[in-house]
C-alpha cells in the first residue's frame, strides 16, 4: 500500500533529512555559548535521538506494508523532484543511521577531549548524518546522487579531523578519490537509466523494469551503478581505502565504517535488486565480488598488529558477506514468484539480518578498541595483554562482540551466519545463470573465510585481554574506562544478546517490510520471511560447518606462530596499496609535466591555445557536417555607409598590429569600439550603442591613465615566424566567426530560439526581449559568477583571519 501524504508525515521526513543540516549550521553560532554551560555533544545528541524516536512511530505502519511518499517539485522541467520515500528498506537504514548515531555521539562526549575542536567534529558528523538520511530516503536518482557525494565530502572531513597527522590526511584523500570515482561512475549509470526509462524516480523504474530491460544501456548502467556501490562499500579491489580511514577518531570509525557510510553501497544494491536482480551479470558480479571480499578481508585481518586495522579488515570481510548474500538472493528475481524460489530469496533476508547484527557487534567492538587506546595508550597487540583484570567491563564487551562476529551462540551473529551457510549451500541446486559445478565453490570459500574470521576474533580477545601483562611497554596506569564511555557499547551488546533470544521481533517489524521492498512483485513479504531458529537439528549441514569452523579455527589459532610467517610470501611490492600509490604518483607527475607544458605564464600562448581549439572544434564541425548552408537571396541590401564602417574597422585592426606606440594602438582599438557602437545605432539598438560608447570611453580613459606610468615604446617585435603564425591563426579565427554567422542566419533545420524568447519575455515581466535576456535569463550566469566570487572571498577572509594554534602533543604524529 502506497500513501502519498502530507501533514505530520511530511514534517517528519523533512525533519529527518534537514534537521542534521540545521544543527550543523547552528553549531558555529552557538558552540561558544554552549561550552560555557555544557558539553557541546549533549546538544548534538538531541538531533539523532529525536529522529530515532520519530522514525519509531512509523514502524507499526511500515510493518503492515504501508509506504509513505511525498514529492516537492524542485526542477520539474528536468524531472528532478525532491521526493521522500519511506518503506521497509529505507526504514531499516534510517533506524541504523539515527540509532547508532545517537550512541556514537554519546560515546564521543566522554571519548574526545574538550581541548579538541569539537565544533568542527560535530558539524562534520551532522553533515554526514543528514547526507546518509538523504541517500536512503530519496526516490529521485539525482537527489540521491547529490546526497551520495555529500557523504564522501563529509567523511573526508571526518577522516582528516586530526589534520596535523600526515596519515589522517592521506587516508582521507584516498577515501575521497576512490569513493568519488565510484560516485561519478554511478552518476553515469543513473543517466543511462534515465535515458532508458525517461524517469529519475526509482519507483517508476522498478515498475517499468520489463520495458527497459531490453534497452542497450541497461547492462552498462548496471555495471556503472555497481561500481559506485563497490567503491563505497569497500569491496575488492576497492577495499584499500577503509584500513587507511582508520586514522579517524574512534567515534568516526564506529559510525562511518561499521554502521553507515560503508552500508550505503549495500543499500544501493538492495534498492536496485528489483531492477537488475534477474540478470546473470548482476548475480555473478555481486555474489563473487562479495565472496572474494569476504575471504580477502578475513585472511588479511589475521596478520594485523593494530586493533583498528584488524577491525578494518574484518569490516571489509563482513561487508563482503552481506554483499554476496544480496547476490545470491537475486536468484529469486530470476525465477519470479514461485514456491521453489522462496528459498533463494531468503539469502536477501539473511543479508538484511546480518546488516543489523554487524552494526551492533562491530559498533561495540570499535568502541571497545577506542576505550583500550584511550585508557592504555596503544592499540598495538604486541604491547597488550592481560588487561582483563584491570578492565573487566571492557573485556566483557570484547567477548560479546568478538564471539558474535565469529558466529557463535548465544549471540546474534550466530543466527545470521547460519543463514549465510544455508544460502551458500542452497545455491548449489540452482539451474539458472549456468552455475553448474561453480556452485560448489560458494560454500567452500564461505567456510574458509569463516575459519579466518574465527581466528582473528580469538586474536582480538586473547592478545588484548588474556595472557601476560606487559607494563613496561605501556605508558599509562591501567584502569577501567569511565562509565559514560561504557554506556554505548554496553547498549549495543544488549542488542547483540537480545536479538539472539528474540530475533523474530526484529524479523517481523523490521526485516519483513524491508524484504517487501526488495521483492515488490511477490504477493506478501511474510512468505519471504522465515521464522528464525537458533537450533535446526543435529543433522543441519550449516551446524556441522560451524562445528568445523570452531575446530579448524582453534587449531589454526593455537598454531598461529608456526604458519603466520606464510604472510611474508605476499611481498609489499605487489599489494593493491602499492599499485594505488604508484598510480597516484604517476598521475601527479604526469599532470604536473603536462601542466608545465602549457602553463607558460605567457598570455600570448594562452590566446593561441584558445583560438586554435576554437577553430578546430567549430570550423571542423562546420566543414565535416552539412551545417554550412548559405542563401543570400533574402538578405538585406548593404548600404554604402555600412561598407565604409567595415573598411574603417579593417583598416584600424590591421594598422593596430603594426603600431609602434602604445597610445596609437590604444586609439586604434577605440576606433574599433566606437565603430561597433555606430553599427548598433544603424541596427536600431540605441541602448546597446549607449552601453558600448560608455564602456569604450571608460576603457580608453583607463588605458591613458595606465600609459602615464608605462614607456611609450612598444616591446620589441617578435620573430617573423611568430608573426606569421599569429596572422594565420587570426585569419582562420575571423573566417570561422564569419562562416558561423552566415550559416546561423540561413540555418533552418531547427526552430529559431527567438521564438522561445518572444513567447517568454512577457511572462518574465520585461518590456522587450533584450531586457528580459539581460535581466532574467542571463541573471543565472551572473548568479553563478557571484557565487564564485563569494566562495573566493570567504576563502581569502578565512586565510586572513585563521590564526595558527599549537596542536596537542598527544596528537602529534
Confidence bin at 751 (pLDDT 50/70/90) = confident
Number of other CB atoms surrounding residue 95 within 10 Å: 18
pTM for the full predicted model? 0.83
**Peptide bond before residue 410 is cis, with ω within 30 degrees of 0:** yes
Contacts of 733 (CB under 8 A, 6+ apart): 611, 614, 615
The three three-digit cell numbers of residue 752, written as one number:
529559431
**Peptide bond before residue 237 is cis, with ω within 30 degrees of 0:** yes
Q: Does residue 807 carry a pLDDT above 50?
A: no
Number of other CB atoms surrounding residue 649 within 10 Å: 18
542: phi > 0 → left, psi -120 to 50 → alpha, else beta; which?
A: alpha
Contact 263, 231 (CB under 8 A): no
Contact 20, 47 (CB under 8 A): yes
- pLDDT over 90, % of the chain: 49
Helix (H) or strand (E) holding 81: strand 80-86
Instruction: Tell me what the mean pLDDT of segment 146-151 comes to.
Output: 95
Alpha-carbon distance of 497 to 503, in angstroms, equals 10
The phi and psi torsions of 161 (rounded to 5 degrees) equal: -55, -45
Of 432 and 366, more confident: 366
Alpha-carbon distance of 687 to 680, in angstroms, equals 9
Q: Does residue 36 carry a pLDDT above 80?
A: no
The three three-digit cell numbers of residue 185, written as one number:
561512475
Alpha-carbon distance of 318 to 358, in angstroms, equals 7
Contact 739, 619 (CB under 8 A): yes
Contact 257, 315 (CB under 8 A): yes
Span 526-553, pLDDT tens digits: 677 888 888 877 778 999 999 999 999 9
Span 284-306, pLDDT tens digits: 999 999 999 999 999 999 999 99
Span 448-476, pLDDT tens digits: 999 999 999 999 999 999 988 888 878 77
**Could you tell me how many helices (H) and strands (E) the chain has, helices first?**
35, 3
Contact 88, 38 (CB under 8 A): no
Any idea which of 479-488, 710-719, 781-790 has the lowest mean pLDDT?
710-719
Alpha-carbon distance of 341 to 353, in angstroms, equals 19
Number of other CB atoms surrounding residue 729 within 10 Å: 17
Span 617-668, pLDDT tens digits: 888 887 787 777 666 676 778 888 888 988 999 888 888 877 777 788 888 8
Alpha-carbon distance of 11 to 50, in angstroms, equals 13
Span 198-237, pLDDT tens digits: 999 999 999 888 889 989 999 999 999 999 999 999 999 9
Question: What local confidence, expressed as pLDDT, does residue 343 receive?
Answer: 72
Helix (H) or strand (E) holding 69: strand 67-75
Q: Does residue 340 carry a pLDDT above 60?
A: no
Contact 297, 450 (CB under 8 A): no
CB neighbour class for 495 (10 Å; exposed up to 12, middle 13-18, buried from 19)? buried
Question: What local confidence, expressed as pLDDT, does residue 712 receive?
Answer: 59
Question: What local confidence, expressed as pLDDT, does residue 808 receive?
Answer: 44
Alpha-carbon distance of 179 to 561, in angstroms, equals 37
Span 39-64, pLDDT tens digits: 888 999 999 999 999 999 999 999 98
Question: What local confidence, expressed as pLDDT, does residue 356 receive?
Answer: 96
Contact 136, 95 (CB under 8 A): no
Residue carrying the nine cell digits 570484547: 398
Helices 218-232, 166-197: crossing angle, 10 deg rounding: 160
Instruction: Tell me what the mean pLDDT of segment 766-793 comes to.
Output: 78
Nearest Cα neighbor of 231 from 180, 295, 279, 269 is: 180
Contacts of 260 (CB under 8 A, 6+ apart): 96, 97, 100, 101, 128, 129, 132
474: phi > 0 → left, psi -120 to 50 → alpha, else beta; which?
A: beta
Amino acid at each position: 500500500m502506497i500513501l502519498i501524504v502530507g501533514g505530520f508525515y511530511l514534517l517528519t521526513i523533512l525533519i529527518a533529512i534537514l534537521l542534521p543540516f540545521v544543527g550543523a549550521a547552528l553549531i558555529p553560532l552557538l558552540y561558544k555559548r554552549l561550552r560555557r554551560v555544557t558539553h557541546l555533544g549533549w546538544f548534538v545528541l538531541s538531533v539523532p535521538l529525536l529522529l530515532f524516536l520519530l522514525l519509531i512511530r512509523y514502524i507499526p505502519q511500515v510493518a503492515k506494508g504501508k509506504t509513505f511518499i511525498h514529492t516537492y517539485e524542485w526542477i520539474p522541467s528536468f524531472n528532478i523532484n525532491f521526493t521522500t520515500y519511506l518503506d521497509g528498506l529505507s526504514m531499516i537504514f534510517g533506524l541504523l543511521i539515527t540509532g547508532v548515531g545517537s550512541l556514537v555521539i554519546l560515546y564521543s562526549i566522554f571519548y574526545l577531549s574538550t581541548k579538541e575542536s569539537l565544533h568542527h567534529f560535530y558539524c562534520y558528523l551532522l553533515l554526514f548524518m543528514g547526507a546518509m538520511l538523504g541517500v536512503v530516503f530519496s526516490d529521485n536518482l539525482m537527489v540521491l546522487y547529490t546526497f551520495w557525494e555529500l557523504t564522501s565530502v563529509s567523511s573526508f572531513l571526518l577522516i582528516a579531523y586530526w589534520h596535523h597527522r600526515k596519515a589522517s590526511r592521506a587516508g582521507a584523500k584516498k577515501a575521497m578519490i576512490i569513493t568519488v570515482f565510484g560516485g561519478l561512475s554511478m552518476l553515469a549509470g543513473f543517466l543511462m537509466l534515465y535515458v532508458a526509462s525517461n524517469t529519475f524516480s526509482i519507483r517508476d523504474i522498478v515498475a517499468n523494469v520489463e520495458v527497459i530491460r531490453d534497452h542497450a544501456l541497461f547492462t552498462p548502467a548496471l555495471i556503472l551503478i555497481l561500481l559506485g556501490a563497490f567503491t563505497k562499500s569497500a569491496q575488492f579491489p576497492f577495499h584499500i581505502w577503509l584500513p587507511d580511514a582508520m586514522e579517524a577518531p574512534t567515534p568516526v570509525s564506529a559510525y562511518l565504517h561499521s554502521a553507515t557510510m560503508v552500508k550505503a553501497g549495500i543499500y544501493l544494491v538492495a534498492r536496485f535488486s528489483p531492477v537488475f536482480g534477474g540478470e546473470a551479470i548482476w548475480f555473478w558480479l555481486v555474489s563473487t565480488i562479495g565472496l572474494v571480499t569476504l575471504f580477502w578481508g578475513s585472511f588479511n585481518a589475521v596478520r594485523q598488529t593494530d586493533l583498528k586495522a584488524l577491525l578494518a579488515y574484518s569490516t571489509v570481510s563482513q561487508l563482503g558477506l552481506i554483499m554476496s548474500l544480496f547476490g545470491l538472493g537475486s536468484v529469486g528475481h530470476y525465477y519470479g514468484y514461485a514456491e521453489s524460489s522462496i528459498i533463494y530469496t531468503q539469502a536477501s533476508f539473511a543479508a538484511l539480518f546480518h546488516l543489523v547484527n554487524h552494526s551492533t557487534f562491530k559498533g561495540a567492538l570499535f568502541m571497545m578498541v577506542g576505550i583500550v587506546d584511550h585508557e592504555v595508550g596503544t592499540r598495538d597487540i604486541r604491547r597488550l595483554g592481560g588487561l582483563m583484570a584491570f578492565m573487566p567491563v571492557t573485556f566483557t564487551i570484547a567477548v560479546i562482540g568478538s564471539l558474535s562476529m565469529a558466529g557463535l551462540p548465544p549471540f546474534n551473529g550466530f543466527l545470521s551466519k547460519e543463514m549465510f551457510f544455508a544460502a551458500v549451500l542452497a545455491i548449489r541446486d540452482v539451474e539458472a545463470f549456468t552455475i553448474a559445478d561453480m556452485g560448489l565453490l560458494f560454500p567452500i570459500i564461505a567456510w574458509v573465510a569463516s575459519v579466518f574470521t574465527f581466528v582473528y576474533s580469538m586474536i582480538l580477545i586473547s592478545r588484548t585481554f588474556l595472557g601476560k601483562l606487559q607494563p613496561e611497554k605501556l605508558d599509562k596506569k591501567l584502569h577501567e574506562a569511565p562509565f559514560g564511555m561504557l554506556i554505548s557499547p554496553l547498549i549495543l551488546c544488549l542488542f547483540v544478546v537480545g536479538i539472539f533470544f528474540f530475533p523474530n521481533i526484529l524479523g517481523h517489524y523490521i526485516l519483513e517490510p524491508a524484504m517487501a521492498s526488495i521483492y515488490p512483485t511477490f504477493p506478501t513479504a511474510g512468505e519471504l520471511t522465515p521464522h528464525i531458529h537458533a537450533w535446526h537439528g543435529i543433522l543441519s549441514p550449516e551446524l556441522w560447518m560451524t562445528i568445523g569452523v570452531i575446530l579448524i579455527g582453534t587449531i589454526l589459532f593455537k598454531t598461529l606462530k608456526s604458519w603466520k610467517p606464510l604472510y611474508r610470501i605476499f611481498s609489499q611490492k605487489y599489494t593493491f596499496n602499492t599499485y594505488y600509490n604508484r598510480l597516484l604518483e604517476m598521475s601527479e607527475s604526469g599532470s604536473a609535466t603536462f601542466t608545465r607544458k602549457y602553463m607558460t605564464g605567457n598570455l600570448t600562448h594562452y590566446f593561441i591555445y584558445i583560438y586554435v581549439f576554437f577553430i578546430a572544434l567549430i570550423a571542423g564541425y562546420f566543414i565535416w557536417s552539412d551545417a554550412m548552408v548559405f542563401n543570400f537571396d533574402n538578405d538585406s541590401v548593404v548600404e554604402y555607409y555600412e561598407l565604409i564602417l567595415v573598411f574603417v574597422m579593417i583598416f584600424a585592426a590591421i594598422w593596430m598590429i603594426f603600431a609602434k606606440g602604445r597610445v596609437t594602438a590604444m586609439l586604434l582599438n577605440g576606433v574599433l569600439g566606437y565603430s561597433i557602437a555606430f553599427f548598433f545605432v544603424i541596427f536600431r539598438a540605441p541602448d546597446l550603442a549607449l552601453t558600448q560608447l560608455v564602456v569604450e570611453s571608460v576603457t580608453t580613459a583607463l588605458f591613458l591613465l595606465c600609459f602615464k606610468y608605462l614607456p611609450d615604446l612598444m616591446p620589441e617585435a617578435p620573430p617573423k615566424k611568430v608573426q606569421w603564425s599569429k596572422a594565420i591563426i587570426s585569419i582562420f579565427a575571423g573566417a570561422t566567426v564569419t562562416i558561423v554567422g552566415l550559416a546561423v542566419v540561413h540555418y533552418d533545420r531547427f526552430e529559431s530560439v527567438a521564438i522561445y524568447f518572444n513567447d517568454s519575455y512577457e511572462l518574465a515581466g520585461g518590456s522587450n526581449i533584450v531586457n528580459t535576456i539581460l535581466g532574467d535569463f542571463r541573471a543565472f550566469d551572473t548568479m553563478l559568477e557571484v557565487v564564485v566570487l563569494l566562495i573566493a572571498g570567504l576563502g581569502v577572509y578565512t586565510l586572513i583571519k585563521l590564526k595558527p594554534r599549537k596542536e596537542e602533543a598527544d596528537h602529534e604524529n
